Amino acid sequence: MRRFFGNLGAGLRRWMIGRYGADELSRFLMWCGIILLIAAIFKPVAFLAIPAWIILLYSYFRCFSRNIVKRSKERDVYLRITGKFKSRFSILKKRWRDRYTHVYYRCPGCRTTIRVPRGRGRIAISCPKCRREFIKTT
């Protein structure tokens, strides 16, 4: 039995040579399809199940595609779109984590966010980007 599964894994690896494989976009599409299918189970309506199957089939099509350049471009667009949201949420997460130890100010010149330690009184803050100085109370 062990030999059978070993040969099966080797055969699958050989079959996947030259194919794109799973990436972030494929995994996102798979999860969206699965969530829609689960929603279709609880609310048996065709307008939930049909898009779920279409999304799942497209996700598998992406994984097994041999057009690597086109799949990479699709992934780059996805990462560019989601990168904006992820960076915004990571900034908010960092600000929430540092809320007791640091204060965040915006530079009046270039609008860059600057983190300074809390409890220092009135200090002169110099922007690392545009070198403009401004005075704030921490």
Strand partners, 28: none
Q: Which amino acid is at 132?
A: R
Structural domains in the chain (count): 2
Are 32 and 77 within one domain?
yes
Q: What are phi and psi of 75, to 5 degrees?
A: -65, -40
Are 70 and 114 within one domain?
no
Q: What percent of the chain has pLDDT over 70?
A: 100
Among the ranges given (11-25, 45-59, 60-74, 99-113), the one the predictor scored with the smallest mean pLDDT: 11-25
Q: Of 53, 74, 91, which one is at a domain's C-terminal end? A: 91
Are 81 and 121 within one domain?
no
Kindly tell me if the per-residue pLDDT of 111 is higher than 90: no
Q: Which two tokens stand for residue 106?
A: 């915006």
Q: Tell me which residue range forms the domain holding 108.
A: 98-138
Contact 37, 52 (CB under 8 A): yes
| pTM given for the model | 0.61
Nearest residue to 53 (alpha-carbon basis) of 64, 38, 71? 38
Q: What are phi and psi of 113, to 5 degrees?
A: -80, 130
pLDDT at residue 56, as a whole number: 93
Are 34 and 81 within one domain?
yes
Helix axes 68-97, 24-42, angle to 10 degrees: 80
